[in-house]
Structure 1
């Protein structure tokens, strides 16, 4: 049986992968420039970038626009815990991740009108936030709430949950839709991932007992560092006592 000859892209990726695994290039270290690497391997820049894209997709290398390609430090995996009535949460095996947030007032338009079931131009508040460990981003999310339910000063997502609990009727339904897709260019840039690395895309919509959508969250979780956990608790004890 004739084995296929490895492509130049695969050969370059294998060599760089070996240099990273053996410590020649250390975690956090900047790789030589793409022009230098292309010259070293005697290939075109597109071929070199294709090899780097393989390593970015594996989570070994991250490209920081304007700075270059760096050996990625080992990232903690995060777990999104769904299937509950509370606000979305993330857990890790060690210390909590840091959160940065930005709040913007806007009017409902396009997909937001359908997502929150509101007329166009309805006043909303968007909280855009990123979880990160040091300088390494882990996930991003956009949370939308009707303006009258939005906290006046929110620096962390938990403030929204507390404020909503004070103002809204009890929740009647929470829908979570999970899908896998490739990131947009904006998402890839913010999360410092390759556009070829799949992400988990989760849309969470919470409706109160009056039928009003009181929160819609759009989350993006990179596939190389995130899991989603949904737990259904069966009322076995209660059923047994009735039998």
Structure 2
């Protein structure tokens, strides 16, 4: 015999069914947790446990101070690594926009090692948060030495590459890029910023770019939630044909 589902999974199944059938539509706010707990005749703790299942699946998001909402389906993007220029390949109808916040700060923590600078060296941070509609999609923090930072980077862009293209106007040409990809759970700050479940894995990509002298001119920390991101790395082998002299 198939085991009976737990109460929290039964509740999650029922709400999931209402979402998939259209009885609860994308963007719609769910009843309050107290009301849902009463409707399902369970404790608030059990109800929140059921909602946590739906949060982890990306079906429901909790907005602080407003409640639980049915999430609009988020389109997947593909991070294209292995090149001098970072690129993302969104689906045709993803309609992502990127907001940019620029902050001047001093090198600290891992930034010292990533950029190869001394503590308190002046840096500029470009915090790029992409959105699909009203829902946060992914997060990137780009750090450059302060003297290489432009002041006219747009605060709104249609893509992460648009921000990168603007930064490339001042920095030297890139000669080497090192990318490290890690799958991990999000930090509390990332959970809040991206409105994702603390149980949803993210792809954390650390990208360090150097010029022809070996100087690091940019370090980027990207956080891409697993439910909307793929990563593709392509290696290009260049063969040099030798010539023989007489």
The DSSP-based 3-state class of the residue aligned with 1:106 is strand
Residue 187 in structure 1 maps to residue 185 in structure 2: no
Deviation at 1:166, TM superposition (A): 3.8
> Residue deviations 1:4-45, cap 9 Å, x none?
332111111111111111111111111111111111112121
Tell me the SS of whatever aligns to 1:205. strand
Contact 1:177 1:204 in 2 (8 A): yes
1:160-171 alignment runs, 5 A limit: 160-168=164-172, 170-171=173-174
Q: Give the distance between the partners of 1:205 and 1:184, measured in 2 at CA.
A: 21
Question: Counterpart of 2:141?
Answer: 142
Deviation at 1:241, TM superposition (A): 8.9
Q: Structure 1 length as normaliser, TM-score? A: 0.91
Contact preservation (8 Å) 1:151, 1:159: no
Name the count of aligned residue pairs. 238
Counterpart CA distance in 2 for 1:164 and 1:76 is 28
Match of 1:93 among 84, 91, 95: 91
Q: Any idea what SS the aligned residue of 2:227 has?
A: coil
**Residue equivalent to 2:16:** 17
Aligned partner of 2:223 in structure 1 is 220
Q: CA RMSD in A?
A: 2.0
Q: Which residue of 2 aligns with 1:201?
A: 204
Corresponding residue of 1:61: 60
TM-score (norm 2): 0.90
CA deviation profile, 1:83-141 (whole Å, cap 9, x unmatched): 1001x222212155211000000000112111211100000000001111211111011
**2:179 pairs with 172, 176, 179, which one?**
176
* Displacement of 1:167: 3.6
Within a 5 Å distance, the mapping from 1:82-161 to structure 2 comes to 82-86=81-85, 88-95=86-93, 96-155=95-154, 156=157, 158-161=162-165
Aligned 1:6-85 pairs, distance under 5 A = 6-85=5-84
Is the contact made by 2:171 and 2:217 (CA closer than 8 Å) also made in structure 1?
Answer: no
Give the conservation status (yes or no) of the 8 Å contact 1:123–1:146. yes
| C-alpha distance in 1 between matches for 2:37 and 2:61 | 18
- 1:56 Cα offset (Å): 1.2
Contact 1:62 1:192 in 2 (8 A): yes
Q: CA deviation at 1:163?
A: 4.0
Q: Distance in 1 between matches of 2:25 and 2:137?
A: 21
Q: CA deviation at 1:161?
A: 3.8
1:11–1:119 Cα change, 3 Å: same
Structure 1: segments with no counterpart, 5+ residues: none
